[in-house]
Amino acid sequence: MPSPSSRITLLGPQRAQPSVASAVAALGVDGPLCVITAGWQEREGEVDELAGHVARPVVDLALYRRTEALFKSDPGLFDAHRERQTWLRELQRVYRIRLGHALEAARDVLREDGDPLVLEHERRAAIAALRTLDRYHLKRIRGAREAFTREHSLSERPAVVAERAEIARVIEGSAAVLIAGGHVAILINRMRILDIAPLIATRPIIAWSAGAMALTERIVLFHDSPPQGPGDPEVLDEGLGFVRNLVTLPHARRRLQLDDRLRVALFARRFSPAACLTFDSGTCLAGDGRRWREISASYRLTARGLLSKARPVPAGASSP
């Protein structure tokens, strides 16, 4: 895959405080934009409001629609994809069971009082066990994805090749690529089926919510208080890897108990050395995906269980 563009902008949720237009202006690009809204599923393509906001033409790449059309024209591909997705859901279910026990143990050890020298060693061991489980889970997912690619050779299917050629034409004629939010699993899945990463890698990219999550190295789902009861942060999949050493947390103030120091500390320590940053309305990170020359309205979860204002990374540093 070509090296990612040096111009990547990550934004917070757009509904309450739209900021895409400001991000486009900051890029200093002219011309139409293209957008990926596959995470919106059946609402894909409803971009009139977005086009009005940025005051220029916006073309939807229609990844969700294109993929659904591919499945209808190729029943064998559809059946194989459905079988793989069923297997992945089962893998996620079993991982979630193991994760619950590992997190419970880590929280118990973090709460424990006693000899600091003994406890700190055990706390590190408990967090190391979480990291090992997360890595193992991602390895299993990666193996399933690679096996699917080997067996079904998407790049050799004429229908897929034709769709990618049309997508490439639209991207080439666009000043920047926008990646919207929505259902992150659907979004990353459709982007992978059509192998979008090499096509967008050399373009300026603006992404928000699930779109920002999809650009990172690993996608972490999180919600401390979902409707069905207490929730645990879980690794869903690898992202595209354009953005390094970062876990993006859209709607963090609504979804995370940020005043719970134990939960915040465990989250930060588990995913370290990646920076876990809040992405709420008004958040903006601009840079090359590794170092950020601009960070606004974002806070970093720290190993002490507190929030620290995220700041731009000086030249030569590696994380926010």
CATH number for the domain that contains residue 186:
3.40.50.880
**What was the pLDDT predicted at 116?**
87
Residue 293 dihedral angles phi and psi, to the nearest 5°: -80, -20
Q: Which domain holds residue 63?
A: 8-71+157-309
**What was the pLDDT predicted at 231?**
80
Q: Are residues 189 and 272 in the same domain?
A: yes
| Nearest by Cα to 299 from 315, 277, 281 | 277
* Low-confidence spans in the chain with pLDDT less than 50: 1-2, 315-316
Q: Are residues 97 and 161 in the same domain?
A: no
State the CB neighbour count (10 A cutoff) for residue 282. Answer: 14
Q: Which DSSP symbol is given to 33? A: E
- Report CA torsion sign: 84, 77, 215, 55: negative
- Report CA torsion sign: 142, 35, 161, 200: negative
Asked if residue 320 belongs to a domain, the reply is: no
Asked if residue 76 belongs to a domain, the reply is: no
Q: Are residues 111 and 133 in the same domain?
A: yes
Asked if residue 180 belongs to a domain, the reply is: yes
Q: Are residues 67 and 181 in the same domain?
A: yes
Q: Are residues 100 and 127 in the same domain?
A: yes
**What was the pLDDT predicted at 2?**
44
Asked if residue 256 belongs to a domain, the reply is: yes
Q: Are residues 193 and 211 in the same domain?
A: yes
Listed residues 99, 128, 152: the one ending a domain: 152
Distance CA 152, CA 77 (A): 7
**What was the pLDDT predicted at 313?**
67
Asked if residue 173 belongs to a domain, the reply is: yes
